[in-house]
Structures are given as structure tokens and as C-alpha cells.
Amino acid sequence: MDVPADGDRLLRQVIRYGGGWTTTLAATALVGAAAELTLPAVLGLAVDAALGDSGAGWLALAGGLLLLIMATDTLGDLAGGYSTARAVARLRHHLVRHLLMLDPRTAARYPVGDLVTRIVGPAADAGQAGVTVVFGLIALLPPVGSVVALTLLEPWLGVTFLLGLVLLAVLMRAFVVDASAAVAGYQQTQGVIAGRLLEALGGTRTIAAAGTVRQEVERVLDPLPQLRRHGQRTWSTLARATTRNASVAPLSQLSIVAVGGWSVSAGWLTPGQLFAAVQYAALGAGLGAVVATLNRLVRTRAGARRVQQLLGEPAQPHGRETLSGGDGTLTLHGVTVLGDGDRPVLDRVDLCVPGGTTLAVVGRSGAGKSTLAAVAGRLRDPDAGTVLLDGVALPRLSRAALRDAIGYGFERPVLVGDTIADVLRLGDGTRSPGTGWSPADLRRATGAAAIDDFVERLPHGYRTRTADVPMSGGQAQRLGLARALSARRLLILDDATSSVDTVTEHRMAQAVTAHLDGRTRLIVTHRAATAAAADLVAWLDSGRLRASGHHRDLWADPAYRAIFLPPAETARVPATPDRPGPPTGQGQP
């Protein structure tokens, strides 16, 4: 992807985000610039008129132009502020929405701290595109207009001033190149520091337990010297540009004074015209606004490129189909998922889970259990093969239909929502936020997840703010499970009861494996009791489906028993008497 080109295309889109305020800013700035260009000519005429004892009218006109310039400056500041605020808000909304629509694997390539930094900093810089472009174009009017005005007064004045502007333009080009590299490096290093800081904040207990606070501080702040170098380069580049402008501009003005004085002595210019020429030279050579605008343009383009790098990542595509009839039958045909180095995490898995069935997925760590759960609910697309729900391939379903049909309970759920009720309603299918589940629905879900007593003891029950509720890992898991129970066809639990006690787990297992609602259940587990309560068991071994069947049948295989027991105890556990041999099932070696 050509990020610079796409970044410039994003800037054009952001300019439109400013809406009518950007148009107002452009019109106001144009009127103000025209007034500034007219003022020196009016003052020159006033000087000539004053020498003839009749300059009052021109002075009054000059005063009116000054009032107009002040009014346009004030309105321009207001329009620029509103335009920028509107554009930044829309860009951030667009960026956050796009990030949440990415394939989880794609989003995982970026550290969370870096993503947050891009939303906060570069997005704000890119949001100034409208103001930057308007001011950039307006900043060119004084030097261009001054060249035209000086040429009309005396062609030699125009030629003299134009040579000075060409020299400044060459110097400014070097500034843009150097500043762009410095700003891009600064923003990138900021993202690295933010990513490391967020990692450290997420692992504060581990750092404290290991006594490695000092080492972690050094790791987080290790890029600071690089950040300082980029910052120093940015400011030194700006300082050099300002110095060059400060040295060239006075020489250009002196040249105009010299040529203008010679023209007056030759009778080609009047004193008032000489005064106007000097004013135009000062107006056109004062390129401080141009330098400031270029600096803003550099930051805006750098910010747009970093934002566009994320927007250029393809969103996970969805179809438009919905699920009509069906009982929640889940089918996997030749599903293969590749990991690092193209190593298969899942290897040609064929599996059919009849509707309403509770399937336990078991296997040693790294066998591919969580990956199977991810592809079953389309949190990850397989590299080969097809996953179908009630005969419809998951990519053909709309996003709303997919999330209405499938619910997830995770080992470490993230509880999104301002209140406990909002957390539970997050997975409420296609219904609007804040609606959907009735109070009775909420109580049934929390009861099934064995978290109802905890919620009802809170100060405001289901309306209690999540931020005000300290929760253990088990309580968070149970809330996550209750949230997942909104699924209508398929409930996927990825080790979702690992942090609860045995009694609570038994109560949750009874609710989850009950067949009253007819949903299909896929449960990733490490516990033999959960596998025994399931209708079927899928046994994964190194990414392949080694066998599937009933737990009591698979238990006859010592390798299956070894999944749940320490190696020293595996040999002492006898096979089921009526099933002494290894099981016969799909995928048996």
C-alpha cells in the first residue's frame, strides 16, 4: 500500500468532514487576505492625497479595511476551531469503527498503546487538514499578490521581489523534507513508548512480585533518547527555516527600497506609490505565516499517514444473509488454520455438531482448542475449509445475524458497558443498545451463570456502574457467561469457568448443558467432569481431530485420560470395564 498517496487522499476526505465551517473559514480568510492586499495601495493613495491636502477619504477607507481585517480574523478563528473539532470527531469515529471491524488477527499486530496513541495524537493532527489547506492557500496570497501589485507599480520592483521569493521557496522545500521525516519518527516512537507502558500497566502485579520495577521503567523509557533526537530535529529544522526567512526577507525589502527610491528619483513612482511598494514588500516577505503553515502541513500529513495505515487494513467482510430455519447445527469441512511459519494450528478438521448438542472440546495445551472455538464463531477465518451454521457459511451471514446467532464466553472476558445491565445487553443480538432483555431476562441469565446473588447485593442492582464494582476473576467470568447467553443458535465457551469454585462450576455446568432452550453448545474445557456432562467430545491432538465420541468411550484410551490427569496418575486409572480398548471414532490413528 502506498501510504503517502493514501494519506493525501485521506486528507481530502477529512477536509469534507469540516462541512460548512471549512467553507466559512475559506470565504472569511479570502476576504481578509483581499483586504490586506488592498490596504497598502489605499495607504499609498492616502499619502499622495495628503501631500495635496485631500487625504481624509482615503484614510477613512483604510480604517474601514483595518476593521474588516479584524472582523475576518475573529470569525476565521471561530470557523477554524469548529471545523477542526468537527473533522477530528468524525475521523476518530471512523477510525475506531474501522478498528473494531478488523479481523482480530490484523488488530493484534498493533500494540494497544500504539493504537490509542494514533487515535489521540495523529488523528488530531490529521483533523486539521481543512484549516491547514485553507491557511496554506491564503498564506500564498500575500507574496503572490505583492508580486502582482509591485509589477503593476513598476516592473523592476516585481522582478526584484520575485527573485527573493524564489530563493525562499527553495529553502522552504528543504524544510518540508527534513521536518516530515522528523515528525514521522517522533510519532512512531511515541507509539512504541505508549505500547510498552500499556503492557507494563497490565502486568503491574507480575512486575511487583518479580521486583523488576526499575528494569521495567528502563524498558518503557528506553526509546526516550530516540524521541528526543526526533524532537530536536523537528525544532532545529523549524529554527533553520525561520532563520533563513529572517535573513532573506530584510534583504528583499532593502532591494525594494533601493529600486523604489531610484524609481522615485527617475519620476517613475510617486511618494505614495513608494510607500505602497515598501508595504507590499513587508507584506509579501513576511513569510512567518508560510513557515507556520508548512510546519502544520507537515504534522497534518504525518498524522494522516499513520491514521491511513490503520484504515488501509482490510475490514473483515460480511455477507447479507440471515438465518431462518435451523436448530444450530455446526459443521466444519476441512478446516485448516495456519500459525507462525505456516505451521498448522488446525489441520483439516472435519466435524459435525448436531443442533442442540453440547460438545466438549478437549486436548493438551496448544492442541488448537481455542482456535477451533474462534473459527466456530468467526472470530477468525480459516485459511482453508468452510464453517457452516445451519448450512450457511459464516462469511455469508451479515454481522448482525452472526452475532445474534452466536454468543461467546471467554476465560478472561472484557466487560464493556457503563452499568451491569449494559454489560449483559452488549451481546443482545441485533437489538438497539439499552433495549432488548427485560429485567426477567437479565435475572434468568445471571441465575444461569450463578452471578445473580452478587448482582442483587450491589447498591443499585443491575443499574450499578461497572467502574464502581470490584470483581474477582470468577465473578467477571460469570458475568461474561451471562452476557453470552443471549445467543440464539450457538453458545461457545472458551474455558469460561476456569476461575470459579467447584460448587459454582457445577451449578453453571448444569445450566449451560441443559437442553431446555435447544441451543448448540461448544465448550472448551480442561476438566473431565465437564467433558463427562457433554453429549459429545471432540479430542484435538496437535491441531488434528484425533477422535470424537462420548466421554465414557474415549476414557478407555490412556492418551485421552492423560489430558485430564498428571502423568504419574494416568497409568493407575483403569479403562472403563465394558470398553477396554481404544475408542473407534473419527480421526483415530
Q: Which pairs from 390-395 meet CB under 8 Å and 24+ separation?
A: 390/323, 390/325, 390/326, 390/327, 390/328, 390/329, 390/355, 390/489, 391/326, 391/329, 391/331, 392/321, 392/323, 395/317, 395/318, 395/319
CATH number of the domain where residue 118 is located: 1.20.1560.10
Render pLDDT for 163-212 as a digit per residue (tens, 0 to 9). 777 777 676 666 666 777 777 788 788 778 887 887 777 777 777 777 77
The structural domain count of the chain equals: 2
Residue 576 in domain: no
Render pLDDT for 337-379 as a digit per residue (tens, 0 to 9). 988 777 888 989 999 999 888 999 999 888 888 899 989 988 8
Note whether 290 and 367 are same-domain residues: no
Question: Residue 239: what pLDDT?
Answer: 73
Residue 341 in domain: no
Average pLDDT over residues 5-13: 76
Residue type, 364: R
Q: Any residues with CB less than 8 A from the CB of 472 and at least 6 apart, and which?
A: 499
Note whether 300 and 439 are same-domain residues: no
Q: H/E element holding 387? A: strand 384-389
CA dist 89 and 532 (Å) reads 53
Q: What is the share, in percent, of the chain residues with pLDDT greater than 90?
A: 10
| Angle ∠(383,385,387) on CA atoms, nearest 5 | 105
How confident is residue 432, by pLDDT bands cut at 50, 70 and 90?
Answer: very low
Q: How far is CA 273 from CA 59, 211, 255, 532, 583, in A?
A: 15, 77, 16, 100, 105
CA dist 387 and 240 (Å) reads 61
Strand partners, 537: 360, 549
Residue type, 559: A
Tell me the three cell numbers of residue 566.
498428571
Question: Residue 585: what pLDDT?
Answer: 36
Residue 527 in domain: yes
Average pLDDT over residues 471-483: 81
Judge whether residue 50 has pLDDT over 80.
Answer: no
Question: Residue 429: what pLDDT?
Answer: 45
Note whether 446 and 562 are same-domain residues: yes
Residue 393 in domain: no
CA dist 147 and 140 (Å) reads 11
Render pLDDT for 140-172 as a digit per residue (tens, 0 to 9). 788 788 788 878 887 887 787 777 777 776 766
CATH number of the domain where residue 486 is located: 3.40.50.300
Between 529 and 512, name the one with better pLDDT. 529
Render pLDDT for 267-309 as a digit per residue (tens, 0 to 9). 777 777 777 777 777 777 665 566 677 777 888 888 888 888 8
Question: Residue 398: what pLDDT?
Answer: 87
Question: Residue 91: what pLDDT?
Answer: 92
CA dist 558 and 548 (Å) reads 15
Residue type, 375: V
Note whether 286 and 366 are same-domain residues: no
Note whether 176 and 298 are same-domain residues: yes
Note whether 366 and 511 are same-domain residues: yes
Note whether 360 and 299 are same-domain residues: no
Residue 468 in domain: yes
CA dist 304 and 91 (Å) reads 10
Query: Could you say which of 311, 344, 364 is where a domain stops?
Result: 311
Q: What is the 3-state secondary structure (H, E, C) of 367-425?
A: CCHHHHHHHHCCCCCCCEEEEEECCEEHHHECHHHHHHHEEEECCCCCCCCCEHHHHHH
- Is 356 strand, coil or helix? coil
Torsional class of 328: left (φ above 0), alpha (ψ -120 to 50), beta (otherwise)? left
Strand partners, 338: 344
Average pLDDT score over the chain: 79
Judge whether residue 1 has pLDDT over 60.
Answer: no
Average pLDDT over residues 229-258: 72
Burial of 289 (0-12, 13-18, 19+ CB in 10 A): middle
Q: Any residues with CB less than 8 A from the CB of 343 and at least 6 apart, and which?
A: none
Question: Residue 175: what pLDDT?
Answer: 65
Render pLDDT for 76-107 as a digit per residue (tens, 0 to 9). 889 988 998 999 999 999 998 898 888 877 88
Note whether 291 and 196 are same-domain residues: yes
Note whether 296 and 373 are same-domain residues: no
Residue 389 in domain: no
Judge whether residue 567 has pLDDT over 80.
Answer: no
CA dist 43 and 58 (Å) reads 7
Residue 347 in domain: no
Judge whether residue 586 has pLDDT over 50.
Answer: no
Note whether 196 and 132 are same-domain residues: yes
Question: Residue 303 in contact with residue 126, Cβ under 8 Å?
Answer: yes
Residue type, 205: R
Residue 331 in domain: no
Q: H/E element holding 146? A: helix 129-153
Judge whether residue 389 has pLDDT over 80.
Answer: yes
Average pLDDT over residues 45-68: 78
Note whether 301 and 371 are same-domain residues: no
Find the domain containing 507 and state its range: 355-378+398-570
Tell me the three cell numbers of residue 524.
472448551
Note whether 71 and 191 are same-domain residues: yes
| Angle ∠(197,198,200) on CA atoms, nearest 5 | 65
